[in-house]
Structure 1
């Protein structure tokens, strides 16, 4: 996890540099052991940033531990990023989205790789949870899943369409409300039978029922159409929606030798853990909001559970590379066992010079 965060942060650092300074070069060192070197999906992320801002990237080879990046003007148009592996298209989207929001014209991103990959948000999470929440920053985007791709081949493709904005609005996510809906999808693709999806869904429902008894739980078992999926894969996502519009989720992926019941229970337990802390976001969304809070004009506030390592690191680099200022305050008045915090950010107020 630490390696994944390190690599992701290097890429996010480059994103921050696109905003903070133009026409200056920056050198990034990656202190990896020989076991961990830059992977294809990380290089794809760096390359799409380079292309989006007409920048220059030196040292961007597989396995390199040093890069030099020179940003230019962010432009719109059509851009393609292909990991050529099962590397996550969702991580590519995370990297590209803050850039295209401040482009000169609308953008269409063709992102190729894994749609449901380990160590990354599933595309279902991105569409069902990340999208409706991040759009509270006053922008919208369309995410069209052309084909799903799984480990190890990848082969998935997602097309993202976005228009630029003048400025991002701050968000205030501090009221959890009560859980009003629980829903989700359990999927199989390729050679796997639909029974596995049904087993995952049933196991998740049984697990949630032990804690929440008064709500209908609607988890749909799905077999992905053969022409809309490449390779074989399985997984589940379960989402809880609250009376104030909060969305929290738990997800898990199947793999060879992993019992389908265990996959469903794993997703359910993650959801229940996120519901117990009393925050308005789950531990997967927490760090994904940091860069948007940093870029927004005004003060954003988010109530969360325990601050993850991902979030701590994202805050550190956002403050190092922009004028945004974060404070994290433990809510002492809350039930102590809930370990609840307020993440507050005075955003840098990035203004799109092209609009």
Structure 2
């Protein structure tokens, strides 16, 4: 890392203007060894600046890359990160709230890929939290697709944690890569399988899990008649901290594409409604005929940007989160993205191809 290099200035309020800008820019800073200054962090949010989960994520990245982090405290709207060498070995992070362990993994995983050996991450917080992927999504949808880029990690869910207490814990082992491979996901194929889990934890009755599952199956059946749908109702016992309920449903296509719908229970919300919400989300993500759902879309941008070669991914409408990730990736790397709209002759569905000429970052530590 060139100590005299000028820090790249990132506007934290641009476009989606949330925690994602922090995660993408901090991870890329760490990987390419460029210092960054992020200003106006979450400026438009009801509680601007860093929340506990963002702060924990930044500290984790700084720890991973032996970096120096300035201005990082709760509520801070300006930080700077000067990265050093990425270190393998053991790293721990604890949001001490129900802040999502999946978002901690989102920022740490790309960095750990460019370490000099295996990294072991111990992440604590919420495993099934609002406004973040559920751990089941990360393992069942994100992980198999990330593996196509050459990303390999194992995740052991030791304890599940829910809002508001958190208390969840996962152990993640990440293998380093020399470089990432580009990925093409443009052929959807047919939906061949739908499965999932409806869970209750703590004091909540098992009947809630059965009701969520049944309502979700009924909703999907209205649109998809012929498939076997298996959504297991589960009572989580010793591996769950606190009370929670929720559902995640996954659809697989003949070409290996994965889609999900999920929902978490809240006080005063009927179990049926939770199940229906997850099912409708899944159906919405299947209808557009793309190859990724709206949540995977933005999570793949950083890997496309780092890969060596051209990646092409067919999606439904391009989300603001995805556009934001592309904006940051192009600002910090040599990657070039283009988005092309495809109108299908036979159906009314519109899809987009996100194409990326990756920057081909090679791991200097391996």
Residue number in structure 2 paired with 1:130: 142
Match 1:142 to one of 151, 154, 159? 154
Residue number in structure 2 paired with 1:170: 182
1:280 aligns with 2:291: yes
Residue number in structure 2 paired with 1:30: 40
Q: Distance in 2 between matches of 1:21 and 1:89?
A: 25
Q: Which runs of 5+ in 2 are unaligned?
A: 1-12
The alignment partner of 1:280 has SS state of coil
Are the aligned partners of 2:27 and 2:61 in contact in 1 as well (CA < 8 Å)? yes
1:233-312 correspondence to structure 2 within 5 Å: 233-312=244-323
CA deviation after TM superposition for structure 1 residue 7, in Å? 2.2
Residue number in structure 2 paired with 1:200: 212
Residue number in structure 2 paired with 1:59: 71
Are the aligned partners of 2:124 and 2:170 in contact in 1 as well (CA < 8 Å)? yes
Match 2:132 to one of 120, 144, 159? 120
Residue number in structure 1 paired with 2:169: 157
CA deviation after TM superposition for structure 1 residue 28, in Å? 1.4
Match 1:104 to one of 110, 116, 127? 116
Per the normalisation by structure 1, the TM-score is 0.96
Deviations 1:24-69 (A, max 9, x none): x432112526732311000000000000000000100111111111
Q: Which runs of 5+ in 1 are unaligned?
A: none
Residue number in structure 2 paired with 1:50: 62
Are the aligned partners of 2:20 and 2:321 in contact in 1 as well (CA < 8 Å)? no
Are the aligned partners of 1:201 and 1:220 in contact in 2 as well (CA < 8 Å)? yes
**Once structures 1 and 2 are overlaid, which stretch shifts more, 294-303 or 1-10?**
1-10
Are the aligned partners of 2:305 and 2:333 in contact in 1 as well (CA < 8 Å)? yes
CA deviation after TM superposition for structure 1 residue 334, in Å? 4.9
Residue number in structure 1 paired with 2:3: none
Task: Name the count of aligned residue pairs.
Answer: 352
The alignment partner of 1:210 has SS state of helix
Q: Distance in 2 between matches of 1:325 and 1:215?
A: 40
Runs of 4 or more above 4 Å deviation: 1-5
Deviations 1:312-333 (A, max 9, x none): 1000110011000000000024
Q: Distance in 2 between matches of 1:294 and 1:334?
A: 31
The alignment partner of 1:245 has SS state of coil
CA deviation after TM superposition for structure 1 residue 338, in Å? 1.6
Are the aligned partners of 1:40 and 1:62 in contact in 2 as well (CA < 8 Å)? yes
Residue number in structure 2 paired with 1:317: 328
Deviations 1:259-310 (A, max 9, x none): 1000000000001001110000000100000000000000001000000010
CA RMSD of aligned residues (A): 1.6
1:321-340 correspondence to structure 2 within 5 Å: 321-334=332-345, 337-340=348-351
**Once structures 1 and 2 are overlaid, which stretch shifts more, 314-323 or 132-141?**
132-141
Are the aligned partners of 1:334 and 1:340 in contact in 2 as well (CA < 8 Å)? no
Per the normalisation by structure 2, the TM-score is 0.93
Are the aligned partners of 1:8 and 1:42 in contact in 2 as well (CA < 8 Å)? no
CA deviation after TM superposition for structure 1 residue 336, in Å? 6.6
Are the aligned partners of 1:3 and 1:36 in contact in 2 as well (CA < 8 Å)? no
CA deviation after TM superposition for structure 1 residue 18, in Å? 1.8
